[in-house]
Amino acid sequence: MRSGRDPCAFSRMDLFTRKKVQPTEPILIPHGELTFLTKQEILMAHKIFSELQDRENGPYSSRVSMEKIHTLPELKSNPFRKRICHVFSTSDMKDGSLSFEDFLDLLSAFSDSATLEIKSHYAFRIFDFDDDGTLDARDLEKLVNSLTGETDDTRLTGEEMRQLISNILEESDIDKDGTVNLSEFQHVISRSPDFVSSFKIVL
């Protein structure tokens, strides 16, 4: 048996030639190996994605802009929607636009069966607002501000914010360098009882 001659998985898996394929045709990715999604979920994702593509005004492109992605109800009220798009985007322009592969990456990381490791990795990058690989006090402040919402009555005062950030750093900054790095972050997250269940997006 020449293993893996599954037509679904291999016949048209070449994404580099994707442009030549009809855009409406679902692109079948070897789902079992590359994502945590099932075949149905990928088809569903493709449907949603191509709808978004159709709504894109201007010339046809394989990418969907960040604004369009944000119209999805699942992301509409998420305070981290911009960060999510930026993290998963592979665009050269750094505009947060997503290709279909990026979109699948996103869904896979947020899927039910994704591991804690991958979830915490992406969570870290979402929270890392300045993309410098560590969560410093400024990142944490931005993070807390996103969590408390934009309105003034829910926002924390400066004093509270300082207290909060120093407390966070005291807890999770194990090596006391003033920032939280990925391994520290994962250490904290892995003990949290409800991270895996809340870090989910279902289409």
Chain positions 39 to 78 lying near other proteins, rule: CB under 8 A, are: 73-74, 76-78
| Selected binder of other proteins within 7, 16, 58, 93 (CB under 8 A) | 16
Are the beta carbons of 203 and 48 closer than 8 angstroms? yes
Contact between 158 and other proteins per CB under 8 A: no
Give the H or E element holding residue 134.
Answer: strand 134-135
CB of 99 to other proteins, least distance (A): 8
Contact between 152 and other proteins per CB under 8 A: no
| Selected binder of other proteins within 22, 33, 59, 158 (CB under 8 A) | 33
Helix (H) and strand (E) counts in the chain = 12, 2
**Could you give the maximum distance between any two Cα atoms of the chain, in Å?**
67
The amino acid at 125? R
Burial 186-196 (b: 16+ CB within 10 A, else e): bebbeeeeeeb
Contact between 201 and other proteins per CB under 8 A: yes
The set of residues, in sequence order, having a beta carbon less than 8 Å from that of 147 and lying 6+ positions away, is: 79
| Selected binder of other proteins within 57, 92, 152, 158 (CB under 8 A) | 92
- 55 versus 149: smaller Cβ distance to other proteins: 149
- 52 versus 122: smaller Cβ distance to other proteins: 122
Contact between 202 and other proteins per CB under 8 A: yes
Contact between 28 and other proteins per CB under 8 A: no
Q: Taking the CA of residue 156 as centre, how many other CA atoms within 13 Å lie in the half-sphere pointing to its CB? A: 17
CB of 57 to other proteins, least distance (A): 22
